[in-house]
Amino acid sequence: MFDGDVRAVENAGMIKPMLEELEIDLPIYKSDVSVGVENYVIGAERKKSVDDYEEMPKKLYPESEKEVERVINVIRKYDKYMNVLFGNDSPFFKDAKRDRS
């Protein structure tokens, strides 16, 4: 069993194609993750969660709105990088002749 959502670093594009190659049917389950600061807690289940997260420190620290926006912009940038790395199966673990999809 491997995490299949926010904490899905185990996949990294390798586990699923390797399991398919070995014809092993292993379920992948979502991992529920939450982030909390003081009394605010949000679920990190979807792309909109970054927007929800951005609201939280802005409410807690309104005097630091510009700094919060800078941090969120960096988070969004690295989220794109992570999606490139982990959002798809790695081509190194696919059989190019057999797996044309």
pLDDT for residue 1 = 43
pLDDT for residue 77 = 86
In-domain check, residue 100: no
Residue-wise pLDDT for 36-46, tens only, equals 888 888 877 66
Percent of the chain residues topping a pLDDT of 70: 61
In-domain check, residue 101: no
Name the residue among 43, 47, 37, 33 with its Cα closest to residue 87.
47
Question: Within a 10 A sphere around the Cβ of 99, how many other Cβ atoms?
Answer: 13
In-domain check, residue 36: yes
Q: Flag whether pLDDT at 90 surpasses 70.
A: no
Q: Which residue did the predictor score with more confidence, 1 or 79?
A: 79
In-domain check, residue 44: yes
DSSP assignments along 10-42, one per residue:
GTTTTHHHHHHHTT----EE----EEEETTEEE
Q: Which domain holds residue 10?
A: 2-93
Residue 49 CA to residue 76 CA, distance in Å, equals 11
pLDDT for residue 34 = 81
pLDDT tier at 85, thresholds 50, 70, 90: low
In-domain check, residue 82: yes
Structural domain total, the chain: 1
Q: Which helix (H) or strand (E) holds 3?
A: strand 2-3
